Structure 1
Amino acid sequence: MIRLVGILIGLGFSFIVLLAFGSGVLTVIDQGYLKEETAEHAFHQEAHGPDGGFQFEGVLGTWDYAQLQRGYQVYREVCSACHSLDFVAIRDLQQLGYTEDQVKAEAATITVAGIDPNTGEATTRPALPTDYFPAPYANDVMAAAANNNAIPPDLSLMAKAREGGPSYIYSLLTGYAPPSEELLEEFPDSAPGAGLHHNPYFANLNLAMAPPLTTDGQVTYAEGNPEPTIEQMSADVSAFLMWTAEPQLVKRRQTGWAVLGFLLFATILAWFAKKQVWAAVKPRKD
């Protein structure tokens, strides 16, 4: 009886393994890996970061606060015209090294929706540090109408929502270029249509967003900062969007190292305690 139960259990595990394998094969087929190659598969390029990478990368990475401040400047002067930061409060800018007075002054330059206390009607007012960054459009219909029927996504979590994270954002911002002759010869239908722009780092190679950073010096940095080339501005805003997506990134890593150190120390103590407790016990001789 026990042998029969063992055989049935073995058959059950075998069935589960075969089912998982079949499911994986179907997934591969469904995702198009076994289908005819498309323009997206053939000419899509992998994301890459700036030369030298980002300072926050790696297990010992830290924030470059000067870069984060430059990235915020690029967002405010360029990206905020179309993209929102729904999950970022203005007071969070203090984490970038701004003083409380600087944050208050920055908030005063931002207009948010309000209510007239006398009439109850909708109005606008200068933002407070406790306010969140306002959306550039009142609704999705208005956003689509202003952007070739494409709704600009919120950027708060973009660095975590896209494969490649900040490297993807950097590649996208610096990757606008006319489609190659090879692409047009092999896939003539891949040419960007009206209102679209070719970018080999985008999923389907063409997107509605026009190049937001078009010339060096488009944003004027304060004295002492790097030259605001397209590559530098792209790297700066990519780093800033990594911070908006995961502001506790560096602190989380530091906490992790402290926890690992404690666990290592506790393990060593436990080993010595074990040696001490069992020191008087001699092995049994048969």
Structure 2
Amino acid sequence: MGGNQTWITEVILLGFQVDPALKVFLFGLFSLFYGLTLLGNGVILGIIYSDSRLHTPMYFFLSHLAIDDISYASSNVPKMLANLVSRKNRTISFVPCLMQTYLYLAFAHTECLILLVMSYDRYVAICHPLHYSVIMNWRVCTVLGVTFCMFSCLLALVHVILILRLPFCGPNEINHFFCEILSVLKLACADTWLNQVVIFAAAVFILVGPLSLVLVSYTRILIAILRIQSGDGRRKAFSTCSSHLCVVGLFFGSAIVTYMAPKSRHPEEQQKILSLFYSLFNPMLNPLIYSLRNAEVKGALRRALCKDRTT
């Protein structure tokens, strides 16, 4: 980095460049979605914590997913909402901008690994039910939980360290509603080839790899389900697994298109819409999908409501 180059100290988030009336509408809509995200995932956490019947590995990881979704949305949505109603103050200091980049990457990586572990949990439960308590014991669950959190944080840190090696001498406008890594790299005054290679390699490792393993798990699960003689058992297995596949499809699909598809096919405005899927819509839909498609969660919710009425 040359001696005459000066780092930018603030970044302007352009956000959604629409009419003021539409900004008010988007603020109300996204505020509703964010509120539903907090409420839905909070209810999931409360139900799992209060109902001893849900103290199983599957719901242990589901509670981690709920915590991750709350954290994921909270890392960028509040700033987006503030920018929608602010006409002038759409800036963010460069250091908090990098922190936002780090947090959203860490939470995104964590969600990928949680969804992978949940698919493995369902594979063991359906394909090897007699060995489930041995394979998915609490020690294994705890080790997996700590491992994927640490790995996600370290991988996100690698991206941020590679960003810090670059000079940022202007411009300072990001055409996004948060400090998304690809948008931040466009501000660099140097070649970002290494960053792009690492991002693509990480996407292959953290997106394509887990998605491939998830699909293999569910292929095995589907074969096992078709062998189940009981109609009730088959419906229960389908209900649980289909809800997980809905979440997997929404999250991995939008992320792969964003980070692995040719950028010329997806203009910046489309990139922002895709980002909404895995930063706002997905965290909001996850608790709805799991509660509406999962008989055990619905049963626990009914018991909790009945208990409140009787007290």
Q: TM-score range by the shorter chain?
A: under 0.3
Q: Which has the larger radius of gyration?
A: 1
**Greater helix percent: which structure?**
2
